[in-house]
Structure 1
Amino acid sequence: MELDTTISAVVTGGASGLGAATARALAAAGVKVAIFDLQAEKGQQVATEIGGTFCAVDVTSDESVDAGFTNARAANGQESILVCCAGTGNAMKTASRSKEDGTIKHFPAEAFNWLIQINLVGTFRCVAKSAAGMLTLDPREDGERGAIVMTASVAAEDGQIGQAAYSASKGGVVGMTLPIARDLMNEGIRVNTILPGIFDTPLLAAAPQPVKDALAASVPFPKRLGRPEEYARLALAMIENPYMNGEDVRLDGAIRMAPR
Structure 2
Amino acid sequence: MSHTYFGVPWLLALASFPLIAVLTVICTNAMALTSWTPTGALSKITQFTMGAIDRSNPASNLIPAGMTSEIASNAANLLSDIKPGYMLGAKPRQQAIGHVIGIFAGSLAAVPLFYLLFLPPQADGTRSVGTMISDQFAFPAAVQWKGVADLIAHGLKSLPTSALVSMAFAALAAAAFEIARIVTKGRFPLSAVSIGLGVVLPPEASFTMWIGALLFWWFGRRQKVAGTRGYAFWVEGCEPICAGLISGAALIGIGNAILNVLLN
Task: Report the TM-score range of the alignment, normalised by the length of the smaller protein.
Answer: under 0.3
The TM-score, its normalising length taken from structure 2, stands at 0.26
Q: TM-score, normalized by length of structure 1?
A: 0.27
Greater Rg by CA: 2
